[in-house]
Amino acid sequence: MSCNCEQSRYLELHQSAVVADMHCDGVLKIKKGLDYSIRNSDDHMDIPRLKEGGTDLQVFACWVATDTPPEECRPKIDELIDSLESMVRQNPDDIAICLTADQADSIIGQGQIAAFLGIENGVAIAEDLGNLEHYYDRGIRYMTLTHTASSDWCISSADTAPAFNGLTDFGRAVVWKMNELGMIIDVSHASVAAVEQVLKYSKAPVIASHSCVHALCPHDRNLSDHQIKAIAAKGGVIGINYFNGYISSRWNHVLDSLYETRRAEIDSLDEYFYGNDSLRRAALKPIWDDIKAKLDTIEVTVGDVVDHIDYIVKLVGADYVGLGSDWDGVFVMPIGLDDCTMVPNITKELVARGYTEEDIRKILGGNFMRVFREVCGSA
Ligand SMILES: [Zn+2]
pLDDT, tens only, 306-358:
999 999 999 999 999 999 999 999 888 999 999 999 999 999 999 999 999 99
∠ CA 184-327-137, nearest 5°, is 35
Q: Is residue 36 part of a domain?
A: yes
CA dihedral 43, 26, 199, 202 (to 10 degrees): -170
The yes-or-no verdict on residue 2 having pLDDT over 70 is no
In whole numbers, what is the pLDDT of the chain averaged over residues? Answer: 95
Q: Do the bridges between strand 321-323 and strand 237-240 make them parallel or antiparallel, or are there none, so unpaired?
A: parallel
149 found inside a domain: yes
Note whether residue 171 is domain-resident.
yes
**9 to each of 16, 207, 351, how far by Cα in Å?**
11, 30, 9
Ligand 1 centroid, distance to 5 Cα (angstroms): 38
Burial of 313 (0-12, 13-18, 19+ CB in 10 A): buried
If one counts the domains in the chain, the total is: 1
Distance between CA atoms of 162 and 168, rounded to whole angstroms? 12
Is 277 a member of any domain?
no
Put simply, whether the predicted model's pTM sits higher than 0.85 gets the answer yes
pLDDT of residue 4: 64
In CATH, what number is assigned to the domain containing residue 84? Answer: 3.20.20.140
Q: Ligand 1 center to residue 329 CA distance, Å?
A: 7
pLDDT-based confidence at 3, cuts 50/70/90? low
Distance 326 CA to ligand 1 centre (A): 7
- C-alpha 10 to ligand 1 mean position (Å): 30
State in Å: Cα 111 to ligand 1 middle: 29
Q: State the residue range of the domain holding 181.
A: 5-248+300-376
Ligand 1 centre from 227 Cα, in Å? Answer: 18
- How far is the centre of ligand 1, averaged over its atoms, from the C-alpha of 120 (Å)? 7
Say how many Å lie between the CA of residue 69 and the centre of ligand 1.
20
Would 279 be classed as within a structural domain? no
Compute, in angstroms, the gap from residue 89 CA to the centroid of ligand 1.
Answer: 26
| Per-residue pLDDT tens over the stretch 115-145 | 999 999 999 999 999 999 999 999 999 999 9
| CA separation, residue 38 to residues 42, 46, 90, 261 (Å) | 12, 7, 12, 41
Angle ∠(159,164,167) on CA atoms, nearest 5: 90
> How far does the centroid of ligand 1 lie from the alpha carbon of residue 170, in Å?
22
pLDDT tens-digit readout, 210-221: 999 999 999 999
Q: How many residues does the chain have?
A: 379
- Predicted confidence at residue 379, as pLDDT, reads 61
How far is ligand 1, taken at its centre, from the CA of residue 284, in Å? 23
Does 278 reside within a domain?
no
3-state secondary structure 22-54: CCECHHHHHHCCCCCCCCCCCCCCCHHHHHHCC
Looking from the CA of 280 toward its CB, the CA atoms found within 13 Å total 12
% of the chain exceeding 90 in pLDDT: 89
Farthest CA pair distance, the chain: 67
| pLDDT (tens digit per residue) in 184-242 | 999 999 999 999 999 999 999 999 999 999 999 999 999 999 999 999 999 999 999 99
Report d(CA 111, CA 56) in Å as an integer.
8
Going from the Cα of 189 to the center of ligand 1, the distance in angstroms, rounded, reads 7
- CA of 23 from ligand 1 middle (Å) equals 8
Asked if pLDDT for residue 269 goes beyond 80, the answer is yes
8 Cα to the center of ligand 1, angstroms: 34
In a domain, 266, yes or no: no
For residue 116, being part of any structural domain is answered with yes
